[in-house]
Structure formats: structure tokens, C-alpha cells
Chain A
Amino acid sequence: MKKLVTHRLFWPVMALLALIVVNTIARPQFISVTLRDGELYGALIDILRNSAPLMLVALGMTIVIATRGIDLSVGAIMAVSGAVALTIIDTSGDPGSGATVAVALLVGILVALVLGVWNGFLIAVLGIQPIIATLVLMLAGRGVALLITDGFITTVTSAPYKFIATGYVIGLPFALFISVAAIIVIALLERRTALGVLTESVGINPEASRLAGVRARGIVFGAYAASGVLAGMAGILYSSNIMAADANAAGLYIELYAILAVVLGGTSLMGGKFTIAGTVVGVLTIQTLESTILFLGVPSAQAPVFFAAVVIVVVLVQSPRLHRFARGLFASRRPDGGGPSTPAPTPPTTTEPTKAEAVR
């Protein structure tokens, strides 16, 4: 039991379960999944389907954060890849053909890869702080997307393209398959090869791992390239869902939600140890929370207040000072209760905790 409680995924999973239970009590139809024409429908299926873009972005973000970095440009990359793909389909003679859509997908993801490589170059080769390096693309990316679409919201009708986000395969949404495939590929790459360990070592101490012979530069480079590709796929999913390339709205604030999902899942922003399962739980928690907020009748525009509350609670729970405060509380109570004398934990000292000086 103790092992279960101290498992690092315990609290994230509990938070998700609590949300699901609260939802089920408030509206019993939340948990029900109905089969209609061989396709599954229900609130839970919707959550799985709608979480796909965030899932892709958050997976990339997990790896980037594990290398002690951060990728702010994912939202902009989403906008660019969506704009590129839809513009190709829009300008082609035959928007409905599979070949056109395949070319559009390929070029869209390729552009995203190039943008990811650009981030990797700035950070791994030029040695610029990740937050600033990706800020460049975050600023410029949406401008590029607007140029690609000529400032308009490009809309197309193309059945195969629409299928990506809204289609069904063997009763389940196709988007779900994409996100599950991404999870499996990333998990296999990071956990069944040495890559994950190397990534963590770079995140824990870049200099030491370089001296130990780890090619830190290549690993950091690869992390940003992967994040770019995943964001590109997310951008295509997003544009396929609404069948429009909206350079301003595509992936707006998704970098923030993705970071939140990673942190919720228990990966520290200081880099190093990361958990892919935690990120998956974090993404699902965010999506469930969003669904809950909508169900409560709160206008979606007001939803950020709830997310702010969640961020504050999560960071407070992780805060070392609060832990010490809580321990101090228990320590002062125990003698009053006349319990067996345990070695009293050191009372909160006046010295400040040594703060990591790394500035992001």
C-alpha cells in the first residue's frame, strides 16, 4: 500500500480518477459509452479524441523538458503546418484525392521538422537559452502562417483530410490511433533504448554527461526536432478537425497547456527524470477538466481561471517549502498527542532553500 501511495504516478492518477468520479456523480451519462452504427460515442470517447493534438504536443514537450529545455514555439508550428497542408490542398486541382492529401501531410510535417531543427540549431549549436530561442519562432511563426494563408482563414472540403480528425476505424476515432501510436513510438524509443537514460543524464547535468561521453548536443537537437514533428502532426489534426487553417487561433496557448500537462504528470521543469505515462495522465486530466468546466455551464472563455487554480495548486503541492511546513506541523502535534517519541524533524530553519540559479 505504501509503495502504491509513494509511486510517483499515484497523485496524478488519483486527480484524474477524482475528476472522472465527480463527473459521473454529477451526470451519470458521462461514463456511458454507446455504440451507434458500429462507432463508439460518449463523453469519454470525446475526451480521448479531442485530446489528440495536446497529447502529441505534450509528448514532444516532455522530451524537451527532460533535456532541461522548453519549447514555446509548438503553437506557432501547429499554425504553420496546418496552413501549409491546407494551402496545398486548396490550390491543388483535386482536393478530394488521396494523393493530394498525402503530399499535403508530408509537406506539412516536413516544414514542421525544419522548424524543429531550427530550434535545435539555435539551442544545441549556438547555445541560446531555450526559452528565448523558441520565443523567436513563437513570435515569427504565426506571422509566417498568416503569410502562407494570405491573412485569410483557408477552408477546404476534402473527405480524406477530414477523416484524420473525425474518421472512425473499427469503432474508435482515428485521431485516438494517432495519439496512441505516438505514445507507443516515443515510449519504445525512450524506454526500450538507451535514449531515455541519455536524455535524462543530459537534463540532470549537461556538462557531466558531456564529459562522460554523452553526445549532449545531438540529443538536445533531436529533442527539438521531435517536438517540431509532433507539433506539426498536431497542427494537421487541428486543421482537419475544423477543416480550416486559422493562423491566429490554431494552437493558441497550447504550449502552456502542454507544459501544464507535463508538470501535472510529475516531470520536473528542472529537467532530468521524465515520465511519459505521467504526461499521458496529465493530458487526459486537462481534457477532462475542460469537459467538466464546459459541463458546468462556464463559458469556455472563463475556463483559464480554473486552469490557473490548478496550476497554483499543483505547484504548491510540489513546493519543497510547503512540504517542510507540513512536516513541521506534524512534528509539533505529535508530542501533544503523547505518541511515541520520534526524532523530531528539524524545525523550519530561517535559511532560505538554496535556489537553483538556472533561469529559463
Chain B
Amino acid sequence: MTTTTQTETPRPSLGARYATFMSRHSSLMPTFAAIVILIVLLVGAQLAFGNFITPRNMSALLLNNAYLLILAVGLTFVILTGGIDLSVGSVMAFTGILCAKLLADGLPAIVAIPLMLLGGAAIGLLIGVLVHYFDVQPFIASLAGLFLARGLAFVVSLSSIRVEDPAVLWLQRTRLTVGDWYLTPTGILALLIVAIGVFVTQWTRFGRTIYAIGGNEQSARLMGLPVARTKILVYVISGVCGGLAGLVLTAYSGAGYPLNGVGTELDAIAAVVIGGTLLTGGSGYVIGSMIGVLVYGVIKTIIAFMGAEQSWTRIIIGGLLLVFIVVQRFIVTRSDRRR
């Protein structure tokens, strides 16, 4: 991540330049690996099935995984600080059913949507305060958030509620087509969140503080960075992303359902890790998480194409996760040794 300017030296050999590049950008390597895997998967599927990389299929890939993409972006913020947020799937279910209930009670979408985002933010705030001010481990604090959100989802409604609101359904039904490619407002929303996430983490003071905290919280504090504010804010961001994902999923399925997203937190964590973010914090990219989600989506689509059991998705994602953490472990030990 450091960009030290070096004095002009005689042109080094190709091998030496490669080594310098590798050592300077070792945090990029896992993300590169994820891109390679994505390309291999896409090309392999295209060769095997012949009709895999079609505009329809690729458009559907984004559409079907829009909610996971939003969750993964929010989660990346938390993991970059060295924390974890297990509550994302439940927050998505809670805000989704909350939105459906509010709409069914006759509230306009313009009121219901901010309320659901507020609900997600409130749970995120609770987790953040527990983590920062009461020294609760992120795992346990977000576990409380998981239980709370899942229970609240059932408090709102025990069964699914259909959504009739035109504004919410518009998010899903509208298709901006270019040839055979299409993009729904939910897809645009997801891409927008990714863009905002990339911008915030790479080019804002807040974003760089996140990396600093993930690298070493003590040092960040001694440098005078606003650790408390940043740490709480990342959980709030994750909560808001949970709310947005709830909105997207509600629009996607046309209903709110309190059992939505059981286990989605694992999918999201897997996507973030596959995308090259280290779970110890301080290293990783929002764009990598997007690649991770796409890898997940492509594997799911390939399995659907093969007509195999969908339970293979979980097994393959688990296996892929394993490969990645072993690779990451290798990278971390190497950079430790260099120090």
C-alpha cells in the first residue's frame, strides 16, 4: 500500500521488477487470484455449455446477486477494521419484512424505505457501541445483533407479506435494455453501492482510517485518528447496507419473509474472503468483494446449468474458501517474515 518514490536507479531486470511489484502489491494478489478464478470459471463454463456467456445470463447474474453484493460491500468495511458482522443476513430479513409490513399498513414507500434503513442502522449502531465502548468481541456483539434482528423479523410478522407497492416493484420490474443486456434499478443500486464503497475506502479520510485501524488499532489511536467514530460507523454502514439489501430482496421476491437470508451472513463472509480481504483486517478491497460475489454467483449458475444439486454450491464455496484462506495464510506469513 505504500507508494514510496525511489530515486532513479539503473533499470532492474525483469525478474527483479516482478519481485518488487509482488512485494509492494502483495495485498492485491488475493484479489487478482479471485479475478483469475472468475475468468477461468466463465471461460470454462462457456466451453462446456456453449451458451453460458450470453447477455441474458450475465445480466441475470447481477440481478440475482444484487442483494448479496450490497451485503458484501457493507461487510467489507467491517472486516477491513478487523471486525466481523454476523448480523447482515438477519438484518436483511428484518428490514425486508418491516418494509413489507409498513407498506401493507398503507404507508407510502417514501416513508417506509427510510424507516427500514433506519432500522438497519440502529442494529448496526448497537453492535458498534457494544464493540467499541464495552470491549465486546465483534463476533459476540454481532451475534446479539443476529439474534435480535431475526427475532424482530418474526415479531413484525410470522408469515410472509406480499408487496403491492408500485414504487418497490418498479425497482425490480423496470428493465433498461441495451440489445439483449438488461439492467434493473436493483442492479444499478448494487453497482452504485460498490462504486460508493470503492470511493470511500480508497479516496476519503474515513476510508484510510479504516485501513489504519485494521492494520493496528493502537497505532491508529496514537496517530490521533478518530478510532471510536470510525469503528462505530463501519457497523452502522453494514447495518444500512443490510437495510438496502432487504429492500432489494423484497423487490426481487415481491414479498417480505422473516426466514429470508438464513445463512446469508456466511455467503457474504465467504464472498468477501474469496475477494481477497484478510479477516485480520487492514488489507483488502471493496472491488474484490464484488469479484467474490460474482464468483459465488457464477458457481451457482454453473451448478444450475449442470442440473446438479444446489447443495454442491455450498460445498464448492466452502472448498474455495479453504483454498483462499490457505493462500492468505501463506501471504501473511511471508509478509511477517519480511518485517
Contact = CB atoms under 8 A, between A and B. Distances in A.
Interface of A: 70, 122, 126-129, 131-133, 135-144, 146-147, 151, 247, 252, 256, 259-260, 263, 269, 299, 301-309, 311-312, 315-316, 319-322, 352-355, 357, 359-360
A151 B83 CA distance: 35
A147 B311 contact: yes
Given A142-B314, A146-B311, A316 B144 contact: no
A126 B279 contact: no
B279 A140 contact: no
Interface stretch (B9-17, B181-189, B318-326): B318-326
Interface of B: 82-84, 126, 130, 133-141, 143-148, 150-152, 154-155, 158, 216-218, 221, 227, 258, 262-263, 266, 269-270, 273, 279-281, 309, 311-315, 317-319, 321-322, 325-326, 329, 333
A309 B145 CA distance: 10
Central interface residue in A136, A247, A305, A352, by most chain B CB within 10 Å: A136
15 contacts: A131-B84, A132-B273, A135-B270, A143-B312, A144-B311, A146-B314, A151-B309, A151-B311, A301-B158, A304-B146, A305-B148, A305-B155, A315-B134, A319-B134, A357-B217
Contacts of B258: 301
Contacts of A136: 318-319, 321-322, 325
A141 B317 CA distance: 11
B219 to A, nearest CB: 10
A307 B280 contact: no
A37 B133 CA distance: 56
Contacts of B84: 131, 360
* B interface secondary structure, majority: helix
Given A143-B318, A252-B262, A360-B137, A302 B151 contact: yes
Given A129-B279, A139-B270, A269-B137, A315 B130 contact: yes
* A interface secondary structure, majority: helix
Nearest 7 interchain pairs by C-beta:
A140-B318, A305-B151, A304-B151, A143-B314, A308-B148, A146-B311, A308-B147
Contact of B318 (A137, A263, A316): A137
A70 B137 CA distance: 13
A354 to B, nearest CB: 7
A311 B279 contact: no
A295 to B, nearest CB: 17
B140 A143 contact: no
A143 B227 CA distance: 40
A140 B319 CA distance: 7
Contacts of B309: 146-147, 151
A252 B269 CA distance: 18
Given A129-B280, A136-B321, A139-B314, 8 more contacts: A135-B270, A142-B263, A147-B312, A301-B158, A301-B258, A304-B146, A308-B147, A311-B147
